[in-house]
A and B are shown apart, each in its own frame.
Chain A
Amino acid sequence: ETGVTQTPRHLVMGMTNKKSLKCEQHLGHNAMYWYKQSAKKPLELMFVYNFKEQTENNSVPSRFSPECPNSSHLFLHLHTLQPEDSALYLCASSPETRGSNVAFFGQGTRLTVV
């Protein structure tokens, strides 16, 4: 248990569906991150939020839409995805985005797009 909880753990969705991934952290952190891990590939950073403000969008397609309503919650809204978007989506949090602090990860959501 890392203090970062992701729901759901598994999700199957059609290409025309709209779904959302949720991440919640109980660590009092101010920075939150979304990563994508496709099969046999390294983790790719998608988005960074610091004190609820988006500070980085790593050229992510607009069919992925993040939302950070407060420092404890992070969402990833999904719509009209493609089969190649099937991957493990990981959320992480850290005290903030500077300094020698430690980021903790959730267990991820395994997404399958059919």
Chain B
Amino acid sequence: DAKTTQPPSMDCAEGRAANLPCNHSTISGNEYVYWYRQIHSQGPQYIIHGLKNNETNEMASLIITEDRKSSTLILPHATLRDTAVYYCIVRPLEYGNKLVFGAGTILRVKS
């Protein structure tokens, strides 16, 4: 499985966009990029995923570089409730795929 590298923590002002980077330089062609977040002591929450095109949903946008070696999760207007650990995960498509979690990025949204 490709590994991901994320900064251990980031701060963001409430109402501003939060841009969370993820490096996955060893990603292969059949691997998707997934983002989850975990608010303290709760189960992880799915945010978004993509292969090579940029994706947007009601929660966030995912920007994947053309070479697919890195991506950025964008929360357009961060609120205090977005404070959480954000996980960037690379997941293959073949049988037996599974989510392997790293340490993630602690995002602190401050008023």
**A residues within 8 Å of B by Cβ?**
2, 4, 6, 33, 35, 42-45, 48, 55-56, 88, 90, 92, 97-100, 102-108, 110
Bound state CA distance, A104 and B102, in angstroms? 17
The smallest C-beta distance from B93 to any residue of chain A, in angstroms, reads 6
Secondary structure class of chain B's binding surface, majority of residues: loop
Beta-carbon contact of A90 and B44 below 8 Å: yes
Knowing A42-B104, A100-B32 touch, does A33 contact B43 (C-beta < 8 A)? no
Q: Chain B, 75-99, contact with A by CB distance < 8 Å: what is the 0/1 string?
A: 0000000000000000001111111
**Closest residue to B46 on the A side, CB-wise?**
A102
**Closest residue to A110 on the B side, CB-wise?**
B41
The smallest C-beta distance from A107 to any residue of chain B, in angstroms, reads 5
Beta-carbon contact of B43 and A42 below 8 Å: no
Beta-carbon contact of A106 and B95 below 8 Å: no
The smallest C-beta distance from A96 to any residue of chain B, in angstroms, reads 9
The smallest C-beta distance from A27 to any residue of chain B, in angstroms, reads 12
Beta-carbon contact of B99 and A45 below 8 Å: yes
Beta-carbon contact of B42 and A48 below 8 Å: no
Question: Which of these, B41, B45, B99, contacts A88 with CB under 8 Å?
Answer: B41
Bound state CA distance, A104 and B93, in angstroms? 17
